[in-house]
Structure formats: C-alpha cells, structure tokens
Amino acid sequence: MLVALLLGLIEGLTEFIPVSSTGHLLLAGHFLGFESAGRTFEVVIQLGAVLAILTVYAGKLWAVFRAAPHDPLARRFILSVLIAFLPAVVVGVLAHDLIKTVLFETPKLIAWMLVLGGLVLLVIDRIAPPPVHEDAMRLPLGKALAIGVIQCLAMIPGVSRSGATIVGARLLGAGRVAAAEFSFFLSMPTMAGAFAYDLYKSRHMLDATAVNEIIVGFIAAFVAAVLVVRWLLGYVSRNGFAVFGWWRIIVGGLALVALSAG
C-alpha cells in the first residue's frame, strides 16, 4: 500500500510538468520491484490525473462549451484541441503493442530520454523565439496540428507528453503560460483516449485483486495533480522551465548509474 501511495504521488506530481510521468512511474516501479498485470495499476491511476485537470478547469471548460454555439472563438478553440489530438490517435493505435511490450520494458531507454529531454528543455527555454501567442485559445489551427504531431514523440516513455507539447508550442511562438495551458487542454482528450484504449487492449490481463492498491494510487494521483496544476502556471510565468530540465537530467543520470551498477 505504501508503494501504491508513492507511485500515485509520483504520477500526480509529474503528469502535467515536463518531466515524463510515465518515465518516472516506470523507473520507480522497476527499482522498487513493483509489477502489475498488464500494467493495470499504471493505467488506472492515470485517470486520477485526468479527473484532476477536469476538476481544475471545469469552470473554463463549461464556459467554452456554453459559448460555442454563438462564439466563433470558442468553436475554433475546441477545433484546435481536437485537431491537435488526432495525430496521437493514429500513432497510439498503430504503435500500441510496440510501446507497451518493448518501450515500456526498457528502463535504460527511459533514462536516456529523460536526460536528452532535459537538455532540450534547457536549450529551448533560452532560444525560443519571442512569443506571438499569449492566449492558448487563439493558437492558429495549423500550429495546433503541429503541436499534436510533436506530442506523438511522447509515445516514447521518458520523453514527456507535456514536455513535447510545451517545447513544440514554444518553438511555434506561444508564450510560456499559453504553451503550458494548451498542453493542459490537450492532455484531456489525449489522456482520456489513451486510458480508454489501453484499458480495452489490456482487459484480459486486468488484475482485480489489486483493487485496494489501485484506489490508493488513484486518490494520491488525483490530489497531487490538482495541486500541481494550480501551482504550475504561476511558476512557469515567473521562472520558465529550466528547473524541470535539470530535474530530468539528474533523475535520468542517477537511473543510468543505478542500471549500469545492476
């Protein structure tokens, strides 16, 4: 139960910051000797993070959908998120088995992706072009699609879904807050779709005996993710993403040392 609590906290704390929650979760599970049949635990507790972002943004989501019938900007924003979501649908369905059976089971690859992603974050935080889009709701549709294509890199565990989308948005002219907020909105259909499809594909391996551990991990992920989402926008607007880049390099480097030492 303590391991389940720890892994749930890791999922919630890292899901929406650009450090790769999946990478942290898989590496922590590897070093703690934690295994769940069909990755049931890891799949289900992600729903806690999905519900967290829905809870935090419930008011804004309701306002957007309520305005959509008569507000072109609201309709365009919904369309931009759906367009950005489509590439992940295609790649996720086509590469699902490779991702789950090969990439998820390669800790050294995950550690290297953490390090490389950290270096990318440090570089982009310094050389990103001056922002021309400070409002996540006003990103051009073409740029939304490009962000969605870049998001597909996160199918490799350790890359980070939020990291890929934030870096992509920054390179395409989005400000720090706009990049992070669009990443939040894009995470809703992406994570919900990944959860539903993964649960369907793994249904024959689901381990109902671990229900208590799943409940603990789910609640921990939900609470931690709510706190992170509420804090993150204010932090990045003042400090940028460099701290997350250094964190990735340290964690990935330590993991590589530990893996090399057996």
pLDDT tens per residue across all 262 residues of the chain: 899 999 999 999 998 899 999 899 989 988 998 877 666 787 778 889 889 988 988 999 999 999 999 999 999 999 999 999 999 999 988 988 888 778 877 899 999 999 999 999 999 988 888 999 999 999 999 999 999 999 999 999 899 999 999 999 999 999 999 999 999 999 999 988 888 887 787 777 766 667 888 889 999 999 999 999 889 888 988 888 999 999 999 999 999 999 999 8
Kindly report the pTM of this predicted structure: 0.88
Q: Give burial (CB, 10 Å; 0-12/13-18/19+) of 98.
A: exposed
pLDDT of residue 208: 63
pLDDT of residue 44: 79
The answer for residues whose C-beta is within 8 angstroms of residue 123's C-beta and 6 or more apart is: none
Instruction: Pull the structure tokens for residue 225.
Output: 């993710």
End-to-end CA distance of the chain: 26
**What whole-number distance in Å separates Cα of residue 126 and Cα of residue 257?**
28
pLDDT of residue 37: 65
**What whole-number distance in Å separates Cα of residue 199 and Cα of residue 150?**
24
Helix (H) or strand (E) holding 140: none
pLDDT of residue 207: 64
Q: Coil, strand, or helix at residue 133? A: strand
CB atoms within 10 A of CB 210: 16
